[in-house]
Chains A and B, each alone.
Chain A
Amino acid sequence: MSKTTTKREKILWKRQIPLFLMTIPGCIYLMINNYIPIFGIFIAFKNIDYGKGIFKSDWVGLSNFTYLFKTKDAFIMTRNTVLYNLAFIIIGTVMGIAVGIMLSELRGKFKSKFYQTMILLPYLLSWVIVAYIGYAFMSNDTGLLNNTILPKLGLKPVSWYAEPKAWPFILTFVNIWKGIGYSSILYLSTIIGIDKSLYEAAQVDGASKWKQIRNITLPLLKPMVIMLVIMNIGRIFNSDFGLFYQLPMNSGALYPTTQTIDTYVYRGLMQLNDVSMSAAAGLYQSVVGFMLVIIANSIVRKVSSENALF
């Protein structure tokens, strides 16, 4: 009896080895790309001097952080990151649901496909290309806005790349423009999954389209919406580097309304050569972001446990 079990276990382990081997390349990649940098967070507690080397640079305790939070930058980049994300979450969710519902109510398969194809297009463009398009619209003397549209409306030209006040609107518009196809298709896929007989029954009862949407579609979308919104709130400390770096073309005059934590980290590391400050800001983002995801997830688990991420 015992002999057969050991034999079976042996075969089992022999079966496990190939499975282990298969995971090795991927695990090595994640180890290098994702885990080694985590061990590198000690850099934020050092005064990095490339001359001395990373490991021999002096420990400075928390002074990178105290210095960072004394500057105005810390407040500005945190405020911008959080406020932009809130705007994107609210407007993006409402628009995504509205367009998703429209696509689902649309008669004609070809038409629906056509609209989906078109509004998803911007999602496929790189941020560099989007910056070119932005420049064609907003360039000071050759842009379409200053050259054609504003004069026709009898308005004065605006130097867009030096006017911080305009950018909350521009960035929000472009973010929605690029992302609406993605989010509306996400909601559309949930709507398609709704039981058709519910609508048929409502129609028999004489419910109007608007009533059907309000009483069937929206309530059934709710779990999905709640999950996505809370998960987005968990990522509220992260910003899309391309949106905030490429679109304003790295214009210094715009920093008050375009600087986010991600652009600050980039500029500190690559342009100002202030590695320690940049590392401190990066760690600040990672740690707060991590806590927010954990909190967001535990809230989702309370609201509807089957939608929790973990």
Chain B
Amino acid sequence: MANSKNERIFQLIINVFLMIMVILVIIPIWLLIAGSITDDASLVSNGYSLIPKVFSLSAYEYLLFKSKDIFHALGISFLITAIGTAVSLMITPLLAYPLSRKDFVARNFISFFVFFTMLFNGGIVPSYIMWTQLFHIKNTLWALIIPNLLMNGFSVIMMKNYFAQNIPLELIEASKIDGAGELYIFRKVVLPLSLPIMATIGLLVGIGFWNDWTNGLYYVNDSRYFSLQNLLNRILTNVQFLASSTEISQGGGANMKLPAVSIRMAIAVVGVVPIMALYPFFQKYFVKGITIGAVKG
């Protein structure tokens, strides 16, 4: 009896504590959303508030009808996320699979080649000079896709471990006896058995591309190649940028004033929405990614 009472108090304490944490998560995100649905003038004079003093959807209206640039940046974000994730999901398993095969002669050498990239790097300055001076990547779409994000040692090793543990060698041997080539085995036997790890890595890579702003910070200053994150980054410190860039698309008949403050919040919300919308569907894989990520190389 006393035990179950203790248990109830224990559960209560846990729930209260976790609830406080949930509130600490929700309030900041809600503050962002509330800012985007507050009337711009009210936002400037009254400041940010959790309950909009003057409710207004004009920031979203403006986004929908008046701002080509923001749609352009959104398009770039989708494009680099799609291309980047697709390429990553081709080259990562192609490298990881042979490394999982015990009969592959270069297994140890290439594994070390991959692993060493996690231990030592040349730093940003040599990378920056290489990408800009040797590959002339500055102000191209490639700049948002190629540096750093396509593949890393961590995901190769995660995948390699998955292959090694989940693809029975007998299955590969049996396919070989049936006369199947290595590439055929990879496509028809290995990949279909590896959907969970593909989903997990694809997810981590996809979020990485969608959320990345550093490549744009280093390699892009032409706003035509801004992703949504780069645009957000620019207008956070420079509200004027938004005004000057949207004026062009407005043309002459501007009967709508730019809601400079609330629109920034609205763009930020647009940057979060795709992830939030997909989150319930991919949460399972995401949690799986965290847990297998803990397994060492």
Tell whether, in the assembled complex, residue A131 and residue B124 are in contact, meaning their CB atoms are under 8 Å apart: no
Chain B residue contacts of A120, Cβ below 8 A: 283, 286-287
Q: How many residues of A sit at the interface, in one of the four size bands?
A: 35 or more
Q: Does A266 contact B (CB under 8 A)?
A: yes
Q: Output the least CB separation between B204 and chain A (Å).
A: 11
CA of A117 to CA of B287, assembled, Å = 9
- Chain B residues with Cβ below 8 Å from A136 are 28, 31-32, 35, 48, 265
Query: Which A residues are CB-close (under 8 A) to B31?
Result: 133, 136-137, 144
Q: From DSSP, what is the main secondary structure of chain B's interface residues?
A: helix
Quick one: which of B206-260 are within 8 Å of A by CB?
Answer: 207, 210-214, 217-218, 229, 232-233, 236-237
Interface residue count for B (Cβ, 8 Å)?
101
Scan residues 172-231 of chain A and give those whose CB is less than 8 A from a CB of chain B: 177, 180, 182, 185-186, 189-190, 208-209, 224
Tell me how far the C-beta of B16 lies from the nearest C-beta in chain A, rounded to whole angstroms. Answer: 10
Q: Complex formed: what's the CA distance from A278 to B126 in Å?
A: 10
Among A6-57, those with CB < 8 Å from B are 15-16, 18-20, 22-23, 25-27, 29-30, 32-41, 43-44, 54
A92 within 8 A of partner (CB): no
CA distance A223 to B85 in the complex (A): 35
Knowing A22-B182, A102-B18, say if A127 contacts B213 (CB, 8 Å): yes
Contact with B along A235-255 (1 / 0, CB 8 A): 000000110001001100000
Q: How far is the CA of A180 from the CA of B20 in the complex (A)?
A: 13
CB under 8 Å from chain A, chain B span 41-84: 43-44, 46-50
In the bound complex, how far is the Cα of B29 from the Cα of A34, in angstroms?
36
Residue of B nearest to A289 (CB): B120
The smallest beta-carbon distance between A64 and chain B, in angstroms, is 11
Q: Nearest 4 CB-CB pairs, A to B?
A: A40-B126, A26-B95, A282-B123, A37-B122
**Residue picked from A133, A139, A265, A307, most chain B C-beta under 10 Å:** A133
In contact, A144 and B47 (Cβ under 8 angstroms): yes
- Verify if A129 is at the interface (C-beta below 8 Å from B): yes
Residues of A within 8 A of B7 (CB): 209
Q: Is the CB of A279 within 8 A of B211?
A: no
Q: A118-B26, A129-B232, A133-B29 are in contact. Are A23 and B122 (CB under 8 A)?
A: no
- Which residues of chain B come closer than 8 Å to A266, judged between CB atoms? 124
Residues on A with beta carbons closer than 8 Å to the beta carbon of B147: 33
Whether the pair B182, A15 counts as a contact (CB closer than 8 A) is: yes
- Measured between beta carbons, the chain A residues less than 8 angstroms from B237 are 249-250
Instruction: Knowing A107-B11, A185-B290, A270-B218, say if A144 contacts B21 (CB, 8 Å).
Output: no
B165 at the interface (CB under 8 A from A): no
B148 and A124 within 8 A (CB): no
A233 within 8 A of B: no
Q: Which residues of A contact B119 (CB under 8 A)?
A: 290, 293-294
Residues of B within 8 A of A121 (CB): 25, 29, 276, 279
Q: Which chain B residues in 104-130 approach chain A with CB under 8 Å?
A: 104-106, 110, 113-115, 117, 119-130
Assuming the A-B contacts A115-B18, A147-B49, are A126 and B212 also in contact, with contact meaning beta carbons closer than 8 angstroms in the complex?
Answer: yes
Q: When each residue 270-297 of chain B gets 1 if its CB lies under 8 Å from chain A and 0 otherwise, what string results?
A: 0110011001100100110011001011
B122 & A99 in contact (Cβ 8 Å cutoff): no
Partner of B104, one of A16, A137, A148, A180: A16
Cβ of A142 under 8 Å from chain B = yes
Whether B151 pairs with A275 at a CB distance below 8 angstroms is no
Contacts of B17 in A (CB 8 A): 102
Q: Quick check: A18 and B182 within 8 Å, CB to CB?
A: yes
B91 lies within 8 A of chain A by Cβ:
yes
A74 interface hit (Cβ, 8 Å): no
A1 to B130, CA, bound (A): 54
In the complex, which of the residues B120, B233, B286 contacts A286, with contact meaning CB atoms closer than 8 Å? B120
Does A143 count as interface, using CB distance less than 8 angstroms? yes
Instruction: Report the minimal beta-carbon distance from A178 to chain B, rounded to whole angstroms.
Output: 10
Closest to B181 in A: A18
Give the Cβ gap from B151 to chain A, nearest Cβ, in Å: 6
Cβ A26 vs Cβ B156 within 8 A: yes
> Which residues of B sit under 8 angstroms from A163, Cβ to Cβ?
none
* Contact sample, A vs B, 17 pairs, CB 8 Å cutoff: A23-B98, A26-B91, A37-B127, A38-B121, A102-B14, A102-B18, A119-B21, A131-B236, A133-B28, A136-B28, A139-B48, A241-B214, A249-B237, A269-B124, A282-B122, A285-B123, A307-B296
